[in-house]
């Protein structure tokens, strides 16, 4: 019995029904800039405030939020639960956590010219010094917040397309002291214009009070 002939490695273009030869098509792979992060949800006792939650996360990651290792934000629907984004997966969950999901690897593509929808809880305002300490007076109107975001967008590596701000207040008690952090939630659409700058912002966050759970950008398209 004769063995079947092997298929040629580079087949010749095939003629179509009319006898004409059709060229073979090839595709070029596009290298799209991206950033790899790990996201997880961790739940603390209901009485935990964001500063105490941050202290627990610092023990896990060895640095404060906004230094490039991790960011976090409160879950709006479950008291005591926080969403954590980190540059590396954690090896152990926070000591006093009631529950913690295993970190999930997420690859965020930063394609220039592509529209992304976004949500960003952020604290921004007029900076000043009290002695040798830098302090902030948060913006009191949505117009001021929107103007700040538009003005700083090139430094963030983005181009806002359409967005709006709503004013919020974060209230909690830490070590028997009442705190109030006025901030805004920005929502809308943007384009990435500088992937490297945008990558740094995704890891380090935006604005003030990142150790209280602000400044973490959520992108989706």
Question: Tokens standing for 183?
Answer: 């901030």
pLDDT band of 3, cuts 50, 70, 90: very low
Query: Based on the structure, what is the number of domains in the chain?
Result: 1
pLDDT mean across residues, the chain? 89
d(CA 120, CA 207): 10
User: Is residue 12, in this structure, part of any structural domain at all?
Assistant: no
Strand pairing category for 70-74 and 81-86: antiparallel
Instruction: Establish if 25 belongs to a structural domain.
Output: no
pLDDT above 70 (res 178):
yes
Q: The domain spanning residue 87 has which CATH number?
A: 3.30.70.1210
- Its domain, for residue 173, covers 34-220
Overall average pLDDT of the 35-46 stretch: 95
Instruction: Output the pTM of the full model.
Output: 0.83
pLDDT at residue 29 tops 90: no
Q: Collapse the DSSP code of 61 into the 3-class scheme (helix H, G, I; strand E, B; otherwise coil) and give the result.
A: helix
Structural contact between residues 80 and 42, judged by C-beta atoms closer than 8 angstroms? no
Residue 16 lies in a domain: no
4 within a domain of the structure (yes/no): no
Query: Is 101 contained in some domain?
Result: yes
């Amino acid at each position: 019995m004769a063995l079947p002939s092997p298929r040629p490695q580079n087949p010749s273009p095939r003629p179509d029904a009319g006898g004409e030869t059709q060229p073979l098509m090839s595709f070029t792979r596009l290298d799209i800039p991206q950033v790899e992060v790990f996201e997880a949800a961790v739940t603390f006792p209901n009485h935990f405030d964001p500063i105490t939650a941050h202290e627990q996360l610092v023990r896990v990651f060895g640095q404060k939020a906004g230094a490039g290792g991790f960011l976090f934000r409160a879950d709006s629907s479950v008291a005591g639960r926080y969403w954590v984004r980190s540059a590396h997966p954690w090896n152990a969950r926070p000591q006093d956590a009631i529950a913690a999901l295993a970190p999930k690897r997420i690859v965020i593509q930063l394609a220039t010219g592509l529209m992304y929808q976004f949500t960003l809880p952020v604290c921004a305002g007029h900076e000043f010094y009290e002695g040798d300490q830098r302090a902030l007076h948060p913006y009191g109107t949505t117009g001021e917040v929107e103007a700040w975001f538009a003005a700083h967008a090139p430094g963030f590596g983005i181009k806002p397309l359409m967005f709006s701000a709503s004013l919020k207040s974060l209230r909690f008690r830490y070590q028997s002291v009442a705190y109030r952090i006025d901030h805004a939630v920005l929502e809308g659409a943007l384009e990435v214009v500088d992937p490297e700058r945008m990558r740094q912002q995704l890891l380090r966050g935006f604005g003030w009070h990142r150790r209280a759970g602000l400044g973490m950008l959520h992108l989706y398209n």
